[in-house]
Amino acid sequence: MRASLSPNGAFSRRDFMRGATAAVALRLLNGARPAAAQGDSRVDSPVATKAIPHSGEPIPVIGLGTANDFQSRPQGADRDRLKQVIDGLLAQGCKLIDTASSYGEAESVLGDLLSDQDRARVFLATKIEDGSRKGGLAEFRHSLERLRYRQADLLQLHNVQNPHQDLAPFREWKAQGLCRYVGVTTTFKGDYDAAEAVIRREKPDFFQVDYSLADRTAEKRLLPAARDAGAAVLTALPYGRSSVFAAVRGKSVPEWARDFDATTWPQFFLKFLLGHEAVTAVIPGTTNPVHLADNVSAGRGRFPDAKQRQAMIDFFAAL
Ligand SMILES: NC(=O)c1ccc[n+]([C@@H]2O[C@H](COP(=O)([O-])OP(=O)(O)OC[C@H]3O[C@@H](n4cnc5c(N)ncnc54)[C@H](OP(=O)(O)O)[C@@H]3O)[C@@H](O)[C@H]2O)c1
């Protein structure tokens, strides 16, 4: 059940036409993808979903991060480009958008860019810095105001540091209908022990952690802890802030990656993450509609199994 500003769930002819326009735009953009991606027979197949363990609700495996170029209020062509990225995400059946109170103006930018019809489709995840009952609630209400939402889908405690962090206030806000799920995040190695303690004790609905082929530290303890706790996992920094692209610059995607339907590097890197049993969805950051289309295509077709993932690890290590 959603409670956005006008969640009537009905799609008017205008909405349909706008979605259709975005789909056409994406098809045109698909034509501009790298040569290796052209002729991809999976272009019309649906993006895969995975279940959120605590509820069974399916969620498309490709999302969008807003930590970078959503931080300042865009004007003119820059605003159009961000809107095109969001329209592209939704037109392809994806819905997860991840933001935070600390990402500059990102919440306000999303509040401006998302129409009421968009809000009814988006799975909106945000984060607050203050985990206390009083301060956290004030911060969360401010986030909802900026986002123009009455209810977030997911509220996360940003960068959990305290191993004794109590998530009871978050669960209370969930019971009050201010959010549908609660979670914690970390991208700091020094806080990994604290994150593990909180995940195992508090069993949040979601856990967000940095995980990419360039940094697999989360595999050791945090992903198993999330699996044991039944927490859905979102992978922050799936491209290691572009470091994975730098590692393969000038190199072709190996032929054997076609066995799991990866024909571009973004597909290779995202499918690696989605092949992990504990990973629910990835949230690459982009403000480029062509990149968005390629990221979305990583959610189609097959994902690598354990043997194929090991071959990817060996390949990347040998670069
Ligand atoms: N503690 C936390 O909870 C935490 C911390 C960090 C991040 N996060 C979350 O994780 C999200 C992702 O992190 P991030 O955006 O910093 O790093 P990232 O997703 O690892 O990398 C983003 C970079 O990759 C590029 N890129 C994206 N798609 C591409 C494609 N198909 N081809 C080529 N380049 C591509 C982007 O450039 P273009 O814009 O040009 O595409 C951008 O420079 C954040 O937005 C945030 O939601 C959470």
What is the token pair recorded at 11?
């799609």
Q: How far is the CA of 67 from the centre of ligand 1 (A)?
A: 7
Please give the Cα distance from 170 to 207 (Å, whole number): 14
Residue 267, ligand 1, Cβ within 6 A: no
Is 30's pLDDT higher than 60? no
Residue 158, ligand 1, Cβ within 6 A: yes
Nearest atom of ligand 1 to the alpha carbon of 291: 31
Q: How far is the CA of 132 from the centre of ligand 1 (A)?
A: 29
Do strands 232-236 and 96-98 pair parallel, antiparallel, or not at all (unpaired)?
Answer: unpaired
pLDDT in tens, 279-317: 999 999 999 999 999 999 999 999 999 999 999 999 999
Q: How far is the CA of 286 from the centre of ligand 1 (A)?
A: 6
Residue 285, ligand 1, Cβ within 6 A: yes
Per-residue model confidence (pLDDT) at position 46: 94
Nearest CA to ligand 1 atom 38: 286
Please list the alpha-helical segments (H only) found in the chain: 13-31, 76-91, 106-113, 116-121, 133-147, 168-175, 192-202, 222-229, 243-247, 265-274, 289-297, 306-317
Please give the Cα distance from 165 to 217 (Å, whole number): 22
Per-residue model confidence (pLDDT) at position 40: 54
Nearest CA to ligand 1 atom 21: 241
Q: How far is the CA of 86 from the centre of ligand 1 (A)?
A: 15
Is 4 strand, coil or helix? strand
Nearest atom of ligand 1 to the alpha carbon of 239: 20
Residue 68, ligand 1, Cβ within 6 A: yes
**Residue 128 CB contacts under 8 Å (≥ 6 apart), including other chains:** 100, 101, 136, 139, 140, 143, 155, 156, 157, 158
Please give the Cα distance from 171 to 173 (Å, whole number): 5
Q: How far is the CA of 65 from the centre of ligand 1 (A)?
A: 6
- Listed residue (149, 209, 142) closest to 179, CA to CA: 149
The whole-number average pLDDT for the span 90-116 is: 97
Nearest CA to ligand 1 atom 32: 291
Q: How many angstroms from the chain centroid is the CA of residue 295? A: 11
Strand partners, 61: none
Strand partners, 64: 97
* Residue tagged 């203050």 (tokens): 130
Per-residue model confidence (pLDDT) at position 28: 36
- Straight-line distance from the first to the last Cα atom of the chain, in angstroms, rounded to the nearest whole number: 47
Residue 101, ligand 1, Cβ within 6 A: no
Q: Picking from 43-57, 227-241, 260-274, which range would have the lowest pLDDT averaged per residue? A: 43-57
Strand partners, 62: 282
pLDDT-derived band at 42, boundaries 50, 70, 90: low
CATH code for residues 49-239+278-287: 3.20.20.100
Q: What is the mean pLDDT of the chain?
A: 89
Q: What letter does residue 47 receive in the DSSP assignment?
A: P
CA distances from 212 to 100, 112, 156, 204, 261 (A): 21, 31, 21, 22, 19
Nearest atom of ligand 1 to the alpha carbon of 237: 20
Is 121's pLDDT higher than 80? yes
Contact 140, 174 (CB under 8 A): no
